Structure 1
Amino acid sequence: MSTPQAPPPVPDAWEPRDHWQRLLPLLLLGLGAAGATFVHGSLDTTWVSLPVALAVAAATAAWIALFTFVVPPTPRRLQVMYVVRTALAFLLASFNPLFAIFAFVGYLDVFDLFRRRAAFAGVAATALTNAGAQAGGFPPRGAEQAAIFVILVAVNLGLALFFTLLHRRMEEVSAERATTNTELAQVNQELARTLASNHALQEQVVAQARAAGVQEERQRLALEIHDTLAQSLAGVVAQLQASQDEPDAAVRRERVERATVLARGALAEARRSVLDLGPGALVQTSLPDALAALVTEWGAQQQQTKADLVITGEARALHEEVQATVVRVTQEALANVAAHARADRVGVTLTHAEDEVILDVRDDGVGFRPDEVGPGFGLRGMRQRAERLAGVLDLESEPGRGTAISVRLPALEPGAL
Structure 2
Amino acid sequence: MMKTIRLLVAAVLAMAIGASIAGFLGDTNMTRPITSKQAEVPFLHGLSTGAVAGQSALASLERADEWINSPPLSASVLQGKVVLIDFWTYTCINWLRAQPYVRAWEEKYRDQGLVVIGVHSPEFSFEKDLNNVRRAAKDLGVDYPIAVDSDHAIWRAFNNHYWPALYFIDSQGHVRHHHFGEGSYEQSEKIIQELLAEAGAGGFDSRPLSVDVRGIEAAADWDNLKSPENYLGHARTRNFASSGELVLDEPGSYEVPERLRVNEWGLSGDWTVRQENAVLNKSNGKLAYRFHARDLHLVMGPAATGTSVRFRVLIDGQPPGAAHGIDIDEKGEGTVTEQRLYQLIRQPHPIVDRQFEIEFLDSDVEVFAFTFG
TM-score, normalised to structure 1, is: 0.20
TM-score, normalised to structure 2, is: 0.21
**Which has the greater radius of gyration?**
1
Which structure: greater helix fraction?
1
Which one scores higher on RCO, CA 8 angstroms, separation ≥ 6? 2
Which structure: greater strand fraction?
2
